[in-house]
Amino acid sequence: MHKLMIVTLFCGLALGLEPVYAGADPPLVKEIDLRAKEEPSPLYVVFCSRWDTLPGHAFVVLGKEDAQAMMSTVDAFGYYPETSGNTKAVLKRVPGVLADEFVRGTLAPTLVRLILKVNKADFDAVKAVRDLWESKGSYKLIERDCVTFVMDVASALGLTVPNRSGFDNIPWNYVRKLAEANSQEQHLDGFWESNDPGHRFRLEITRRSCVWIERAASGTTLSRQGTVSGSAAGFRVERPNDADVLTFLGFQPTLRGEILAAEARPSFLVLVRSGNSLSGSWNGLAAIKDAQAHLKELKQPGTTPAKLYTFNRVF
């Protein structure tokens, strides 16, 4: 199933190819970078659908660039009734097959495309979904068809997967809806470092998992595993204010105990992505001491004005 060719599916625009289409709007072409780190050979997953036919057909392309050889390995596959033109698939289950789109001839400039740059783990996750669908299975329109296959692959990549109903059951319209439901701003995957002079924060984000690394003025570092919550309107990453963190921050033992007794809440960053940078609103803990260096007042994270940081993506 593998072919060596120039990957026009995801670099056709750069080559100046102009798609021909039938319909009121031109085919949508969108690119999202899901990588947490750079791969030696760029990897792509592309969701495609024919635009110039009704009802159309949706399929998936796996692409791997080889910069040294200046060639690319491309694998394209979609789900069909095993017998071409089997109209029974509309009404009941029939044998299904995952087919080579190069053989079927569905590759063309008239495609709706959602192009994803991915890391090897995601690339392998898509291949695992493909392998499951390659096993002997049934086909039934709406229940187990080319769009259902696309939905399974999208789920494996952690994308927002729209429900299908009505007009969305048309393959090219569903791929368009999938593209519109996902944006670069929804995905924070990557290694990010704050650009303040001390580079206080480093966030290593993969999907909804985050390694939080914080650097003190002394040069010592703190590393914690956390999660990312929220949406494109503002993702939130927390780190606790426990005894180890308070020690790292330089609080003396007596004051540490008093802060812990006051039930210090986690500090947090609210992150918004724009291209290859993040803006982060830092909401930290503030401990006000009295003349005897005891805790006079504890200002919990989020109760005082946030400090703004800019994060740049690093590989």
Q: Which of 164, 165, 140 is nearest to 154 (CA)?
A: 164
Residue 152 pLDDT? 97
Asked whether residue 25 falls in the same domain as residue 165, the answer is yes
Structure tokens at 208: 């909804």
Asked whether residue 157 falls in the same domain as residue 8, the answer is yes
Out of 47-56, 73-82, 234-243, which region has the weakest mean confidence (pLDDT)? Answer: 47-56
Asked whether residue 36 falls in the same domain as residue 167, the answer is yes
Q: Does 224 have pLDDT greater than 80? A: yes
Asked whether residue 133 falls in the same domain as residue 237, the answer is no
Last residue of a domain, one of 137, 159, 182: 182
Last residue of a domain, one of 129, 157, 182: 182
Report pTM.
Answer: 0.81
Asked whether residue 172 falls in the same domain as residue 197, the answer is no
- CATH code of 277's domain: 2.40.128
More confident residue, 56 or 238: 238
- Which one-letter DSSP state was computed for residue 144? B
Q: Which of 291, 286, 292, 296 is nearest to 258 (CA)?
A: 296
How many separate domains does the chain show? 2
Place of tokens 């969108």: 30
Contact in structure between 170 and 58 (CB atoms under 8 Å): no
Asked whether residue 15 falls in the same domain as residue 153, the answer is yes
Asked whether residue 88 falls in the same domain as residue 111, the answer is yes
Asked whether residue 211 falls in the same domain as residue 173, the answer is no
Asked whether residue 70 falls in the same domain as residue 115, the answer is yes
Structure tokens at 109: 């400039």
3-state SS, residue 166 = helix
Last residue of a domain, one of 127, 159, 182: 182
Out of 5-19, 96-110, 211-225, which region has the weakest mean confidence (pLDDT)? Answer: 5-19
Place of tokens 């939130």: 236
Range of the domain at 90: 3-182
